[in-house]
Copies of this chain bind each other. A is one copy, B any other.
């Protein structure tokens, strides 16, 4: 079946699924959790097929790790589904209500998007996460996973179909396009007649390719060049704790920091102390000339602060003041998560008011930017654009609205 035929079927399924009662949507998710639990060994076996192929293709070790489904990781997937079941229904909520002078009654009501296409890479648990969030929000989804996870994804979607069929719901409500050609993916990105929103999840390269080639509206996610700025008047222990956490607790994720900005008046005192701590944590440091004059770092130029390391590397820059820090962030940041460490409330407010990012922190680690932490019960991605949703996107962010207008013959 062609990719457009698959998309067309998803669109058709969406018209029915948009009115699927909450009870049935939750039952699908409950059944899915049970079916996954019964199939842990089968999932691992299918996942092994992907891992074997990855090894033959000499895939890097950390990428093989991302691809691997262990029993522990599968149980986490089930927990994720159970969290989503608990969420309130995001559909059919009246956001606003007004009665006009002519007695027209206007209700602004939440509805699902319809068809959401998600283009992602590597980690096969994304397949279950995304499908579960879409099912909860009455959205039909088209999943375009990475070819490196094709056996895992195919088996997982087979389990999702079992749960759908058990509840008499059209299996085209969750469509997997597995291993399509580049031409076919390009067609998907322009299939405005069938797809309402496109969400790319993965590398900056994947996201940029999607933005450049889509006519379907794109919800951009992910890339995170995040910063911590340490201001002149600061608490040393707090600063070290936050930097260590934001850099080292999980360096491969987007809410980790890539760059440390530090006030010029404290650099000479603070940098050597920080250096000692980060050395213990195996963090590699980069910095421009002024930084190198204080501690031993790999020299970079002023225009090289645009790197998303995604590993234990930290770029450091000395800035004049909070405004200089903000200016650096607004130039090199990706509008994701930014933090200021300061005891000066006025500077914190200046930072809040002027940094352009989804999440702005005062005296806390950037690592908190996450759908679970923010109370959204999961996330389909972290938006780094400003349209529709910003920051972590949960089921509520997978809805749009429509106006229902009740009259008795009114004309204008």
Determine if A229 is an interface residue (Cβ-Cβ < 8 Å).
Answer: no
Number of identical monomers bound together in the oligomeric complex: 2
DSSP class of A's interface residues: helix, strand, loop or mixed? Answer: mixed
Per the CB 8 Å criterion, the residue count for chain A at the interface is 67
17 A-B residue pairs with CB within 8 Å = A19-B353, A98-B375, A104-B368, A113-B386, A114-B356, A211-B215, A212-B215, A217-B387, A235-B409, A241-B411, A359-B405, A361-B407, A362-B405, A364-B407, A387-B388, A388-B388, A390-B402
Question: B407 near A360 (CB under 8 angstroms)?
Answer: no
CB distance from A45 to the nearest CB of B (A): 34
Q: List residues of A whose CB falls within 8 A of some B CB.
A: 15, 18-19, 98, 100, 104, 106, 113-114, 192, 196-197, 211-212, 215, 217-220, 235, 237-238, 241-242, 244-246, 249, 330, 352-354, 356-365, 367-369, 373-375, 385-388, 390-391, 400-412
The residues of B that contact A373 with a CB separation of less than 8 Å are 100, 412
The residues of B that contact A365 with a CB separation of less than 8 Å are 410-412
In angstroms, Cα B359 to Cα A212, docked, is: 31
The residues of B that contact A360 with a CB separation of less than 8 Å are 402-405
The residues of B that contact A245 with a CB separation of less than 8 Å are 411-412
The residues of B that contact A407 with a CB separation of less than 8 Å are 361-364
Knowing A197-B386, A217-B387, the reply to whether A358 touches B403 (Cβ < 8 A) is: yes
Query: What residue in chain B is nearest A411 (Cβ atoms)?
Result: B245
Which listed residue, B104, B374, B387, B405, touches A387 by the CB 8 Å rule?
B387
Instruction: Please name the 6 residue pairs, one residue from A and one from B, whose CB atoms are nearest each other, closest first.
Output: A364-B407, A245-B411, A386-B400, A388-B388, A367-B412, A238-B409
CB distance from A332 to the nearest CB of B (A): 11
Query: What residue in chain B is nearest A360 (Cβ atoms)?
Result: B404
CB distance from A340 to the nearest CB of B (A): 10
The residues of B that contact A405 with a CB separation of less than 8 Å are 359-362, 364, 368
Question: B387 near A400 (CB under 8 angstroms)?
Answer: yes
The residues of B that contact A357 with a CB separation of less than 8 Å are 402
Knowing A217-B385, A364-B104, A402-B359, the reply to whether A242 touches B114 (Cβ < 8 A) is: no
The residues of B that contact A400 with a CB separation of less than 8 Å are 386-387, 390
Which listed residue, B98, B211, B330, B368, touches A15 by the CB 8 Å rule?
B330
Which listed residue, B15, B106, B352, B364, touches A409 by the CB 8 Å rule?
B364
The residues of B that contact A375 with a CB separation of less than 8 Å are 98, 100
Question: B330 near A409 (CB under 8 angstroms)?
Answer: no
